Structure 1
Amino acid sequence: MAPAIPAAMERPHFIGIGGAGMSGIAKILAQRGAKVAGSDAKDSPTAEALRAHGVTVHLGHAAEHLADDASAVVVSSAIRADNPELARAAELGIPVVHRSDALASLMDGLTAIAVAGTHGKTTTTSMLAVALTELDLDPSYAIGGDLAGPGTNARHGAGEVFVAEADESDRSFQKYDPQVAIVLNVELDHHANYASMDEIYESFEKFAAKLRPGGTLVVGEHSGARELAARVATGREDLEIVTVGEGEGSDAHILKIVPNGMKSEVTVALDGAEHTFTVSVPGRHYAHNAAAALAAGARAGLDPAALAQALTAYTGVGRRLQLKGEAAGVQVIDSYAHHPTEMTADLEAMRGAAGDSRLLVVFQPHLFSRTQELGTEMGQALALADGSVVLDIYPAREDPIPGVTSALILDAARAAGADVTPVHDKGTVPDVIAGMARPGDFVLTMGAGDVTDLGPAILARLAN
């Protein structure tokens, strides 16, 4: 039986319903029987997937899109105050609900596992969702990416477990009260919202403080995650803290990671037993993600031996080293990496998988504020590639910052010895790559913006 729908969510209207986080919540509500509507700037496969679930999706933002009888208007932090549908909600007296509050309400009464961290959230949440489904536990989940295709980022299940990606970017993850929380790593990012590491730690501490009494905090091997665990341990003696890593003394001890092309074989010692399983994505950081998923599932009451084997069913998630296709002997892979740590991890993973083959990158910086703070490190990361094309900055929700352009990345990349080419017209990238690539190469489209759209175009150009 589906959990009861909160009264405010019986007839919700989502502004920006096509977004990764928003669309997932809308889909779950529709599957539970709510009458869901919303609007988005443009049509998309995600919008079509929502319509298949009975959701009304309006194109563009206009006051008339908001029905007078809407029970609530759901927004993300990306929605600006001057949105006409927000203004109409104020006129009608319709309450405005942040997406994090909407998601928190969906987890009520269920065993919630929340996955947080500066990097790796989507992958780890997806691993758990796939493994729980493989075990016939019929989980509910909300993920910041698609498992297999548009609209597969969320699901309402009849089981007792709800797995959710917990986003720290706007502090919204502080609304959740999970039974088990994973914190993979803690680094400074989202510079428009956080001015220092102290603010980041404070935010993550508030997230951990919301864990249910007697809950479990699973932390990765990253120094920031371990620092968080030390801070949390002094104030919550009721919590169990489970450490994950390759270092001696880790509770979930990663004994071995054996690369095998685009896969790895991983062995983890947990609670006195060893578990060996395959991770179908290359790279050490993905093996760590899988070990964290194993530890969290075990603390949520699942059999670790069965869960380890079920993790083998995970074959990837959209934009996380996702193979887009092959043409003229060139494989095109898509990566969501946009922070230097993520870029380095994915590039190192691909270097290991590519062997002696060349690795070419099409990189699109994401956000002016991030480029201003981390542009040098982004350029240094690109030195791991054999050649890179660097696009203009994808602004997303931000206005330009004077003097902040992709030139910051290009200068740093060249200083690090990287071969980089600036391209200002995204439409010319397929021709540029066709002139660079040769059979056996790997091409990696990288960034959190619309660079992902270039994969099919590059493949088509290579094929011709």
Structure 2
Amino acid sequence: MAPGIPTALDRPHFIGIGGAGMSGIAKILAQRGAKVAGSDAKESGTAEALRELGATVHIGHASGNLADDATSVVVSSAIRADNPELVRAAELDIPVVHRSDALASLMNGLRAIAVAGTHGKTTTTSMLAVALTEMGLDPSYAIGGDLAGPGTNALHGEGDIFVAEADESDRSFQKYDPQVAIVLNVELDHHANYASMDEIYESFESFARKIVPGGTLVINADQQGAVELATRLRGEELLNIVTYGDSAQADVRVHKITPRGLSSEVTVLLNGKFLTFTVSVPGAHYAHNAVAALAAGVALGLPAHNLASALGKYTGVKRRLQLKGEEQGVQVIDSYAHHPTEMTADLEAMRGAAADSRLLVVFQPHLFSRTQELGKEMGDALALADASVVLDIYPAREDPIEGITSALIIDAAKAAGADVTHVADASTIPDVIAGMSRPGDLVLTMGAGDVTDLGPKILARLAQK
């Protein structure tokens, strides 16, 4: 039996309930029987899915949305102090609960696997959720994206395992007490919250030290930041460290990755034996994510062969190299990549999967602070495409920074020899791509903002050619 609902979350009100992280927690609480309510800035499929679970979802933020009998107001770090519902909560003396504390309470009493890293979290968490479900273990899970199969980002299961994406961006992942934790990579990002790599390392160290005594940290043996983190943690008592990757010293060693079109065949050396399985998404980085998931499941005591076979049932997450459709011989694919490492990995994956195709990219930078720090690296990544169109920066929760525009990325891309164009008006993108593309091309919409909305519009315009 899954644990019950904490009193504070019996009648929760979520500000920004439609967000990827917030909606997942709200869904699980609703499935457990809580009276869930909340608000979001705009209507969405997520809002409707929550209503189908019995939640009350208001569109727009207003003090009147908050019921007097709410037992808590759940917020993320993106909610500003002057939000009218947050102000009203203070007037009514209703406790405010951070999203991470709410998620931590949902994991209490269950065997938790927490997946952390600068990138790859959503994919790896999803792989575990799908594989454990396929094995009949009925896990609970909370993910930062919708699974392509079940089509949801969260589920309350009757099993005793909870798989959660652990977000380092605001240090909230330090709230969790997992039995197994994965660290995929450690890189400098989230520049509004971290001033240096030392701060990043300290944050990940705090996360790892919250693993329950006798638990396991599964960590990348190939990525520099992860290797440094493992070195820092080697002296920790009651912490088992399992490494994975291409390194000959890795505990779970990647022996071979064989591309098979839009999938890969992966062979690993585990406990002295070779094990081969299929990963149904392209690219070496996704294969490594699957190996991390395999190592974590084995650390939890699951049979390696059964888990490896079940991982082959994973078919992707929305916005992670998701095929949106094909028109006039042009395939349109959507990518959530917004950090240079992610961008490079996805572009290389598409190159490997369709080596004879031209690759056209519509890129939307995400956050002024990230562009300020990593604009050159983003431009370098775009040089992997045959041609790119760069939109204005998607601000999300940030205010503009003087002098920081898409020009930083465009100038770097051109310096790297890329064919890149700036388009300020996103509504013209379908016409621009229709003019650029020809049969056999791949079009990749890329970024963490609303660039994802352009995929269907591009397809509709291509259909008119």
Give yes or no for TM over 0.5: yes
Whether contact under 8 Å (1:266, 1:278) holds in the other structure is yes
CA distance in structure 1 between the aligned counterparts of 2:246 and 2:448, rounded to whole angstroms: 29
Amino acid at match of 1:227: E
**1:382 alignment counterpart:** 382
Q: More deviation in 108-117 or 351-360?
A: 351-360
**1:195 alignment counterpart:** 195
**2:409 alignment counterpart:** 409
CA distance in structure 2 between the aligned counterparts of 1:269 and 1:357, rounded to whole angstroms: 34
Instruction: Tell me: CA distance 1:100–1:307, structure 2 relative to 1, closer, same or farther (3 Å).
Output: same
**1:52 alignment counterpart:** 52
**1:67 alignment counterpart:** 67
Question: What SS does the corresponding residue of 1:241 show, helix, strand or coil?
Answer: strand
CA distance in structure 1 between the aligned counterparts of 2:271 and 2:429, rounded to whole angstroms: 50
- Is 1:2 the counterpart of 2:7? The answer is no
CA distance in structure 2 between the aligned counterparts of 1:305 and 1:193, rounded to whole angstroms: 41
Cα shift at 1:148: 2.4
Instruction: Tell me: CA distance 1:458–1:414, structure 2 relative to 1, closer, same or farther (3 Å).
Output: same
CA distance in structure 2 between the aligned counterparts of 1:251 and 1:330, rounded to whole angstroms: 42
Question: What SS does the corresponding residue of 2:301 show, helix, strand or coil?
Answer: coil
CA distance in structure 2 between the aligned counterparts of 1:82 and 1:373, rounded to whole angstroms: 28
Query: Pairwise mapping of residues 231-310 of structure 1 onto structure 2 (< 5 A)?
Result: 231-234=232-235, 236-310=236-310
CA RMSD of aligned residues (A): 0.9
Question: What SS does the corresponding residue of 1:291 show, helix, strand or coil?
Answer: helix
Question: What SS does the corresponding residue of 2:217 show, helix, strand or coil?
Answer: strand
Query: Pairwise mapping of residues 165-244 of structure 1 onto structure 2 (< 5 A)?
Result: 165-220=165-220, 221-234=222-235, 236-244=236-244
Cα shift at 1:223: 1.2
Report % sequence identity: 80
Question: What SS does the corresponding residue of 2:243 show, helix, strand or coil?
Answer: strand
Amino acid at match of 2:373: E
CA distance in structure 1 between the aligned counterparts of 2:409 and 2:186, rounded to whole angstroms: 23
Query: Pairwise mapping of residues 87-236 of structure 1 onto structure 2 (< 5 A)?
Result: 87-148=87-148, 152-220=152-220, 221-234=222-235, 236=236
Query: Pairwise mapping of residues 424-443 of structure 1 onto structure 2 (< 5 A)?
Result: 424-443=424-443
Whether contact under 8 Å (1:40, 1:60) holds in the other structure is yes
CA distance in structure 1 between the aligned counterparts of 2:171 and 2:73, rounded to whole angstroms: 20
Whether contact under 8 Å (1:49, 1:150) holds in the other structure is no
- Is 1:30 the counterpart of 2:7? The answer is no
CA distance in structure 2 between the aligned counterparts of 1:149 and 1:295, rounded to whole angstroms: 23
TM-score, structure 1 as length reference = 0.99
Cα shift at 1:273: 2.3
Cα shift at 1:369: 0.3
CA distance in structure 2 between the aligned counterparts of 1:14 and 1:280, rounded to whole angstroms: 35
Cα shift at 1:355: 1.1
Question: What SS does the corresponding residue of 1:48 show, helix, strand or coil?
Answer: helix
Question: What SS does the corresponding residue of 2:313 show, helix, strand or coil?
Answer: coil
CA distance in structure 1 between the aligned counterparts of 2:183 and 2:343, rounded to whole angstroms: 19
**2:369 alignment counterpart:** 369
Whether contact under 8 Å (2:2, 2:160) holds in the other structure is no
Question: What SS does the corresponding residue of 2:136 show, helix, strand or coil?
Answer: coil
Whether contact under 8 Å (1:325, 1:459) holds in the other structure is yes
Whether contact under 8 Å (1:3, 1:32) holds in the other structure is no
Whether contact under 8 Å (2:361, 2:385) holds in the other structure is yes
Cα shift at 1:330: 0.5
CA distance in structure 2 between the aligned counterparts of 1:148 and 1:310, rounded to whole angstroms: 16
CA distance in structure 1 between the aligned counterparts of 2:150 and 2:337, rounded to whole angstroms: 19
Question: What SS does the corresponding residue of 1:97 show, helix, strand or coil?
Answer: strand
Amino acid at match of 1:152: T
Whether contact under 8 Å (2:148, 2:315) holds in the other structure is no
**2:342 alignment counterpart:** 342
Cα shift at 1:210: 0.4
Q: 1:70-91: CA deviations, max 9, x gaps?
A: 0000000000000000111001
CA distance in structure 1 between the aligned counterparts of 2:431 and 2:345, rounded to whole angstroms: 28
Question: What SS does the corresponding residue of 1:265 show, helix, strand or coil?
Answer: strand
Cα shift at 1:232: 1.2
Amino acid at match of 1:223: Q
Report the count of equivalent residues. 463
Whether contact under 8 Å (1:330, 1:437) holds in the other structure is yes
Whether contact under 8 Å (1:149, 1:318) holds in the other structure is no
CA distance in structure 2 between the aligned counterparts of 1:338 and 1:44, rounded to whole angstroms: 22
CA distance in structure 1 between the aligned counterparts of 2:451 and 2:144, rounded to whole angstroms: 17
CA distance in structure 2 between the aligned counterparts of 1:456 and 1:327, rounded to whole angstroms: 10
Q: 1:14-52: CA deviations, max 9, x gaps?
A: 000000000000000000000000000111001011111
Question: What SS does the corresponding residue of 1:384 show, helix, strand or coil?
Answer: coil
Whether contact under 8 Å (1:254, 1:266) holds in the other structure is yes
Q: 1:236-272: CA deviations, max 9, x gaps?
A: 2211100000111211111110011111100111122
CA distance in structure 1 between the aligned counterparts of 2:155 and 2:436, rounded to whole angstroms: 41
Cα shift at 1:149: 7.4
Name stretches of at least 5 consecutive residues in structure 2 with no aligned partner. Answer: none
Whether contact under 8 Å (1:50, 1:151) holds in the other structure is no
Whether contact under 8 Å (2:128, 2:163) holds in the other structure is yes
Cα shift at 1:3: 1.5
Q: More deviation in 403-412 or 268-277?
A: 268-277
Name stretches of at least 5 consecutive residues in structure 1 with no aligned partner. Answer: none
Cα shift at 1:408: 0.5
CA distance in structure 1 between the aligned counterparts of 2:85 and 2:419, rounded to whole angstroms: 47
Question: What SS does the corresponding residue of 1:431 show, helix, strand or coil?
Answer: helix
Whether contact under 8 Å (1:188, 1:200) holds in the other structure is yes
**1:447 alignment counterpart:** 447
**1:314 alignment counterpart:** 314
Cα shift at 1:151: 6.1
CA distance in structure 1 between the aligned counterparts of 2:11 and 2:234, rounded to whole angstroms: 41
CA distance in structure 2 between the aligned counterparts of 1:38 and 1:148, rounded to whole angstroms: 25
Amino acid at match of 2:385: A
**2:392 alignment counterpart:** 392
CA distance in structure 1 between the aligned counterparts of 2:429 and 2:342, rounded to whole angstroms: 23
Whether contact under 8 Å (1:49, 1:151) holds in the other structure is no
